[in-house]
Structure 1
């Protein structure tokens, strides 16, 4: 046998051995559809029943699609399941606990449906003349308040010119009287773009937040008013004349109204609702004197209201904390008492699932760990103690990979934190191909989550960073939280101001260097990817270095100037760079990947949603066209009928397969 044949056989044997070793990670690639996902967990008013909104896709079906179901579990563990044709959301128990309402598609518009808990009969309660966006049952159970756009029709496109400055419809507040056929009252006029609301305990008033104008660019200009349902008089909250106000919430005794506010007056006429200009505090309004005071803050300085304690002396809030994800804090109405953590867990609370029931005594939420898939849990608000109520994942094989918190020094000496995800058979003596996963935001953060999942927000799933897919390909995964990330306080969130692609880039690259220096990562097999801001940073990274062998940019900004004229948040870079491009365009040009496209040598996969209004697909087209004209290695996937993140199960599945195929270029 000649030497060339022997060498060829050795290469083949080593390749097979390496493939077999990779398969030991989990045994199956693209396995994210093997478990049920939880959208919402809500305890009944008396805490004796728990409603769980669940969706899943059959793992073995060729054509992936989401199946939806409503599970109701009673105090002895008996489960009733109602399968749904369409997605459901916004679970809301009736005050007497006999029925549960939710939003789902009607014949034409999104409507309110109601299910009798005892008989499990379902009927459409309200189909309005427009999509209903949100709703709440009145405490006395006699009516339902809801928000919906002004009268709309889902008809063919107009053949007449459209004035885009007037092509908007406000979300108004309405009241539906139960027991009276089709009786709906309009509560607010066109000058209010209603964003949130809450009922007074006596059902005689509604407090609501509103924007002065329609559009995401005005979402940090919310004010708060109180509507008297007897007189129809609207009273403005004085504090929010010069400050913002969102998430209004009545205390159970009716004496206070809590709301989230940016305590620093706005500097711009229009601002994006992001963490750069937010120093969020929870403030409370004395309902009699109309005076406001703000409470102690959380360490991250960006809390969101969950609800009041039953005793009306504390407000429960949720805020990010480093790689732990989200913690629940209690804020006393006495501003001199510091915030207190009431949830102390190693696992991850999914923030979109969490609720506080009508009696203010029971939390419900989806909870997961690195090795355990999400299940529904409840806890008393005081004292906080986890109680598992679902057992959806009993047949799902537990993941036994490892997620470790790591720290390193950036180029300027700043200590940066992140996560390193390794497989079950991780060998410390071996160097591994490294995938660098860049999170979105930038004011988001990686946290320890179930290793069979992805970066997920309900049905919105980022296909670029699904951990089991990456591990099965043979990568270990590095998840850095560079400056600009949330969970580390306002100063750290502000540290990337006017410095996109500067310090944050150095934080990521220094982390890669740290892993190479410790003989963990193989410098010859590096890949990078991410979605939204992560897509931008991926494109930016490969304009600055040729070290990466494959890259995936999902919904990434590539041209800051054109983005500012086409996105639904045109002030994004005004906020992050400090000025408009026509006033100071230096950073708009210098820090945009499109300005350095000639430097890219890394094979790049670009993915965009066809209907993305946040980062329009034109951003991807610009980069793709420039690279294609230079005959560079580039591919672009357009996800049909998808927005900023894909929600269609089959498209997500196929996208993950495309990601896997592309990343093999780095191996």
Structure 2
């Protein structure tokens, strides 16, 4: 059916595409550090390495190579030192510690010796050290308890909080020098003589506070720290965040009088008189997250970005305004907004996806990762492209992507990304697969395929069209659209996707007898809903999907999610939980269904997979269940991604195209 001379990327080539993240620009705008994540098939990992671009020599070079990984690069305020995290052997596990690379030293120095992984860190603006968050030491009573009885947990009571620490640059360097002069046995001894000796350079700042810290920033004079924190580390407490101001000179820690609906970073203004942060405009998970400014003296707040009907997140407060990012339909945009609401986009907002932006404090230089519908994601400094990701696509056929839109019966306008073969012929009808994103506040973009769960390019190569619908609830289309699936999960989603299918069938583009659907997470739920609610599909794949909202509600780590979307608990409103659950319609099921699920998924726990599998089996529908050992809600292993993609490709090729799986099948 399709052109067999076409040379699309294979499953293995898609998985092996490097990705970029954690971009950091030096204050003079001359150097950019970024993380390049690659694929190591032999170790079944995605190793991360910091790369540096230096404008003076116009070159990119890696900071680490091989199994020595690095991530989260961050330049010192004077631009002379690059700090980053790197995993270090600590007995049987690896712990991420802070390293620095200076212009004078040829090798990086390990600066921190924390007992637990360091999550986030930032330089003090005076350059004297770094602030970081890490798990605080386990309480003695918990240690004693497990020694006496063994390990058990009081659910919703035994919390392991993190804390904020200050790492002194000079002390850290001195300690590193001493350690470097010692032979290995004495070095280990020096590190093992109690916590005191282990991290001489770090001072705990909030170990006595029972709060879980998410975001923090340091005042320009390096004398105060602002942090947003939740009462527990549970996801359900994310909507109960509060902001604290810590005075480093007096050790006073005061809670600020701010509505506790924060989401995302908290930042000091460049003069230290104000802070800004993102916050939900109302206590609903699908409500807009807007930018709010809080004056530390007057305690007044204002929201300068109300004209943007989407989630707005601040990146940095520069002297020219606050650097923010937001979504507009299928475009990720970045810009500067002043306190009075004047907005200046930093790039043409049409056909652009900008991620991981970084900006200098004067607002003059930016670095970011940018992709368009025609070009792969590359790292840029101002308008100069630094990387050569496009080389992986050279000599390859790419699917043609276009954004189409249609109306549902209840009047919503839905957009979707339609991928067509390079040799698309408008006189033919094609088999069709719907690839549904998760979230539900995720989004499908018109950029070149990098999907590691749905084999989009391989479907195209086999002669399918692929439609990725941005169904109600998707990000990018404003608050009303995100709220449109309130108490409409499944039912509303079905209207949105099936009206897209109808459009393609009515236009004689798609073959009504050859339609399939697959998705992961919320996309897996929508696929599961289609499996039992509808007989329109020829084959279905459910990845990490919800099959029963009641089972889900009591097992997931984000219980509040269900309450916000369905409006109540199952004990108060059993009917809405029944109406929106795929299992309710199980006796109606008729479509062959592949189910893929992680054994240890905390977000969509595995009972959801077994329930759907057992139900389909009992009603006599062809089904296969694949459980991925030790996997959480998604995989971080290229081998598992390869299996997921191959299983999906084989399933649809067999059930829709009648192709027998080849010898390389993953069964």
- TM score, norm. by length of structure 1: 0.87
Query: What is the match of residue 206 of structure 1?
Result: 225
Indicate whether 1:391 and 2:388 are aligned: yes
What SS does the aligned partner of 2:419 have? strand
2:109 to 123, 132, 138: 123
State how 1:240-639 maps to structure 2 within 5 Å.
Answer: 240=259, 243-244=261-262, 246-264=264-282, 266=283, 274=285, 276=286, 278-311=287-320, 314-324=321-331, 326-334=332-340, 337=341, 339-349=343-353, 351=355, 353-357=356-360, 360-379=363-382, 386-394=383-391, 396-397=393-394, 399-451=397-449, 453-454=450-451, 461=452, 463=453, 465-639=454-628
> Structure 2 regions of 5+ residues with no counterpart?
176-199, 658-667
The 3 A distance-change label for structure 1 pair 283 and 215 is same
Shift, 1:570, TM fit? 1.0
Indicate whether 1:78 and 2:47 are aligned: no
What SS does the aligned partner of 1:552 have? strand
Superimposed CA distance per residue, residues 49-108 of structure 1 (whole angstroms, 9 cap, x where no aligned partner): 1112112226xx677543433221111312222315255332211222222222232223
How much is the aligned-residue C-alpha RMSD, in angstroms? 2.4
Determine the C-alpha separation between the residues in 2 that align with 1:244 and 1:34. Answer: 37
Query: What is the match of residue 178 of structure 1?
Result: 169
Determine the C-alpha separation between the residues in 1 that align with 2:481 and 2:357. Answer: 26
CA contact (8 A) 1:110 1:127 kept: no
Determine the C-alpha separation between the residues in 2 that align with 1:606 and 1:395. Answer: 32
CA contact (8 A) 1:372 1:399 kept: no
CA contact (8 A) 1:51 1:70 kept: yes
Per mean C-alpha deviation after superposition, the further-off stretch among 66-75 and 154-163 is 154-163
What SS does the aligned partner of 1:589 have? helix
What SS does the aligned partner of 2:559 have? coil
Query: What is the match of residue 5 of structure 1?
Result: none
Determine the C-alpha separation between the residues in 2 that align with 1:86 and 1:476. Answer: 42
The 3 A distance-change label for structure 1 pair 115 and 636 is farther
Determine the C-alpha separation between the residues in 1 that align with 2:368 and 2:118. Answer: 24
Determine the C-alpha separation between the residues in 2 that align with 1:199 and 1:231. Answer: 15
Determine the C-alpha separation between the residues in 2 that align with 1:496 and 1:412. Answer: 12
Per mean C-alpha deviation after superposition, the further-off stretch among 105-114 and 474-483 is 105-114
Indicate whether 1:222 and 2:241 are aligned: yes
Shift, 1:204, TM fit? 0.5
The 3 A distance-change label for structure 1 pair 288 and 388 is same
Per mean C-alpha deviation after superposition, the further-off stretch among 340-349 and 629-638 is 340-349
What SS does the aligned partner of 2:258 have? helix
CA contact (8 A) 2:281 2:290 kept: yes
State how 1:91-240 maps to structure 2 within 5 Å.
Answer: 91-108=73-90, 109-117=95-103, 119-152=105-138, 159-180=150-171, 181=175, 182-188=200-206, 189-240=208-259
CA contact (8 A) 2:429 2:511 kept: yes
What SS does the aligned partner of 1:219 have? helix
Shift, 1:405, TM fit? 1.3
Superimposed CA distance per residue, residues 547-583 of structure 1 (whole angstroms, 9 cap, x where no aligned partner): 2111111111111111111111011111001111111
- TM score, norm. by length of structure 2: 0.87
Number of equivalences: 616
CA contact (8 A) 1:610 1:640 kept: yes
Determine the C-alpha separation between the residues in 1 that align with 2:517 and 2:359. Answer: 39
Query: What is the match of residue 26 of structure 1?
Result: 8
CA contact (8 A) 1:261 1:282 kept: yes
What SS does the aligned partner of 1:307 have? strand
Per mean C-alpha deviation after superposition, the further-off stretch among 293-302 and 616-625 is 293-302
CA contact (8 A) 2:323 2:337 kept: yes
CA contact (8 A) 1:46 1:359 kept: no
Superimposed CA distance per residue, residues 383-427 of structure 1 (whole angstroms, 9 cap, x where no aligned partner): xxx221122443532554311111112112322211211111111
The 3 A distance-change label for structure 1 pair 546 and 450 is same
Shift, 1:231, TM fit? 0.3
Determine the C-alpha separation between the residues in 2 that align with 1:373 and 1:540. Answer: 33
CA contact (8 A) 1:371 1:400 kept: no
CA contact (8 A) 1:30 1:656 kept: no
The 3 A distance-change label for structure 1 pair 63 and 526 is farther
